[in-house]
Structure 1
Amino acid sequence: MRQTGEVTNRDSFLRHLSNKLGRNEKKKNVTLPRWEENPQYDVLEGASQNELVEVFKQAAEKVDVNVFETTIKDSGKTLRKVLQDYGESVSIRTDDERFERCGLTPILEEYGTHVWKPNEESIKIAEQSGVGITFSDYTLAESATVALTTSRGKGRSVSLLPKTYIALIPKSTIVPRLTQVTDFIHTEYQETNDISSCIKFISGPSNSADIELSFVVGVHGPIKVTYIVIEDY
C-alpha cells in the first residue's frame, strides 16, 4: 500500500506569506492561465512512431547508449545477447508483469536474476548487482530518456545501484518529449487522484562534469546503459 503524507498548517502558512508580500489572500475563482502560444507541442508534432524511434536512436547515440530493436517474439534472444555482452554474474529486475508478457521470465530465471521486493535484502542485492533491468513506462524521443514510475514492485534501486542498466522499451511508450509525459501524468492524477511516489528520468549512463570540469561517468549510477526497443503493437 502506498504511503500518503499529510499537509498541516497550510492555510496559516499561506496567510502569513501573503501578509508578508503585502497581497490579499485569494481563495476563490483562481484559474490557471491560458497561453496563446504552446511551442512545446510543436516539437516532432505529427511524427510517426517509426520516425520517433529514429529520433530516439540518434539522441541515444549522443549520450553513449547502445540501442537494439526487436519484436516481442525475439526480445528474449536480444536480451540474452546484451546480458552475455555485459558478462555480469548478478542481476536484479523489477517485479513487472511485462517480463512475463514478453516471455522473458525463463531467461532471467536462467541467469538467476533477483526480482525486486520492497525490503533491505533487495537493496543490498541491487548494490552488488552488475545489471539492473526495468521496463520503461514513458520514453522521450527527443532526449533518449526513459521515465520510470515507482511502486512496491518497482524500486528506485534497480536502475540506480547496479553497475550497468538495461531498459526494455515498448515502442508504444515513445513520445516526442517531456511535454507529453507530464500531460499523461497530470491526466492520470486527475482521473485516479494517485501518483507515483517518485518518477525517474534516465538519459543514458550517469555522468558529471561539475567537479573541476572533468567529465566522469558513473558518479551517481550505472556506467553503461543499453536500450532495447520492443515492437509491441
Structure 2
Amino acid sequence: MMIGTIYNRDKFLNQIASRLNRPRISAPMERTKWKYEPQYEIYKDADQYELLEMLKEHCKKIHTEIFTVDLAGLPEVVNEVVSEYGGGPVVTWKDERFSKWGLDSLMKEKWPSENVDVFEWDYTLWEENVHQAEHANVGITISEITLAESGTVVLFSDKDRGRTVSFLPKTSIILIPKSSLVPRMTQAAVKMREMYQNTGHVSSCINFITGPSNSADIELNLVVGVHGPIKATYIVINDI
C-alpha cells in the first residue's frame, strides 16, 4: 500500500492555533470517560435469535423481503428470488464465500445453461465493471455487519467487491450470515474497531444500506428507487 507524504503540517497547524488565539495542542488528548453510556445498554442481552426476530420485524417497515435458510437451501432461495425479480443479468462480487456457501453450481452452471448472464467483479476490467453493474437486473453482495434495530446491512468495499454492485442494478440481494447480527450502530462501530485492531486494516469504503433506495426529500413523499435498487431481499444464512 502506498503511504502519502504530508507537507507543511506543523506550519498549517500552527497557523490555525494562531488564528484561534491559543497555543497549539501538541500532547495527545485524553479520551473522555462518561459516567453514563446508555448506548451500550440497549439490547445488550439480546441473543442471535432475538436479533433475528428484530431484523425480520424491521424489514416490514423498510419494504424488504427477508428469508432465513440453512446453507443447503441457500442456492434454491437465491435462484427463486432472482427468478421473481425477472432473471438476469446478474452481477456479483468476487468473493470466495459464494463458493464456500455452495453457490458455484448456481452461478457457474445452472444460470449460464439457462442463458442467465452472470458477471463477476474483476478489478482489472475497470469501466467494464461499472458497465455490467449499470445494466444488471440483480446485484448480489454480502453483509459484514448487520444492524437488527434498523434493518441495516454494512458492506465493505475493496478491489474485488465494488460498491456499484449494491446500488447500480435494478434489484439487490444481500446475503447475511446470522453471525453478523448486532443490535445497533453502537455495536457495529465496536466491531469495526476490533477488526482494525486485529488486522491493522479496515475498508476505505463502508456502506450502510437499509433496504431498497428510498427518498422523501421532496414534500415528504416517499419515492423508492431514486438512487439505487427499487427492490431488496435479505437472505439470512444460519451459520451459527
**TM-score with structure 2 length normalisation?**
0.92
Q: How far apart in 1 are the matches of 2:75 and 2:48? A: 23
Partner of 1:36: 35
Runs of 5+ consecutive residues of structure 2 not aligned to the other structure: 112-116
Query: Is it true that 1:20 corresponds to 2:27 in the alignment?
Result: no
Q: Which of 135, 140, 145 pairs up with 1:138?
A: 145
Aligned residues: 232
CA displacement, residues 153-195 of structure 1 (integer Å, 9 cap, x when unaligned): 1000100100000000000000001111111222222333322
Partner of 2:114: none
Q: How far apart in 2 are the matches of 1:161 and 1:72? A: 27
Q: Which of 117, 130, 138 pairs up with 2:122?
A: 117
Retained in 1: the 8 A contact 2:215–2:224? yes
Query: Is it true that 1:209 corresponds to 2:216 in the alignment?
Result: yes
Query: What letter matches 2:62 in structure 1?
Result: V
Aligned-pair identity in percent equals: 43
Partner of 1:73: 72
Retained in 1: the 8 A contact 2:82–2:88? no
Partner of 2:91: 92
Query: What letter matches 1:177 in structure 2?
Result: R
CA displacement, residues 102-125 of structure 1 (integer Å, 9 cap, x when unaligned): 101211223232111122111100
- Report SS of the residue matched to 1:166: strand
Query: Is it true that 1:149 corresponds to 2:167 in the alignment?
Result: no
Query: Is it true that 1:184 corresponds to 2:191 in the alignment?
Result: yes
Retained in 1: the 8 A contact 2:157–2:204? yes
How has the CA–CA distance of structure 1 residues 24 and 190 changed in structure 2, closer, same or farther, with 3 Å as cutoff? farther
Residue 23 of structure 1 deviates from its aligned partner by 2.1
Residue 25 of structure 1 deviates from its aligned partner by 1.2
**TM-score with structure 1 length normalisation?**
0.94
Residue 29 of structure 1 deviates from its aligned partner by 4.1
How has the CA–CA distance of structure 1 residues 40 and 195 changed in structure 2, closer, same or farther, with 3 Å as cutoff? same
Q: How far apart in 2 are the matches of 1:6 and 1:142? A: 41
Q: How far apart in 2 are the matches of 1:148 and 1:6? A: 29
Q: Which of 159, 172, 186 pairs up with 1:165?
A: 172
Q: How far apart in 2 are the matches of 1:206 and 1:45? A: 29
Query: Is it true that 1:101 corresponds to 2:108 in the alignment?
Result: no
How has the CA–CA distance of structure 1 residues 201 and 29 changed in structure 2, closer, same or farther, with 3 Å as cutoff? closer
Query: What letter matches 1:203 in structure 2?
Result: T
Superposition RMSD in Å: 1.5
Partner of 2:53: 54
After TM superposition, the structure 1 stretch with the greater mean CA deviation from structure 2, 68-77 or 106-115, is 106-115
- Report SS of the residue matched to 2:141: strand
Query: What letter matches 1:115 in structure 2?
Result: E
Residue 6 of structure 1 deviates from its aligned partner by 4.4
Residue 20 of structure 1 deviates from its aligned partner by 1.4
Q: How far apart in 2 are the matches of 1:5 and 1:136? A: 30
Q: How far apart in 1 are the matches of 2:188 and 2:5? A: 26
Instruction: Give runs of aligned pairs for residues 220-231 of structure 1, distance below 5 A.
Output: 220-231=227-238
Query: What letter matches 1:140 in structure 2?
Result: L
Query: What letter matches 1:24 in structure 2?
Result: P
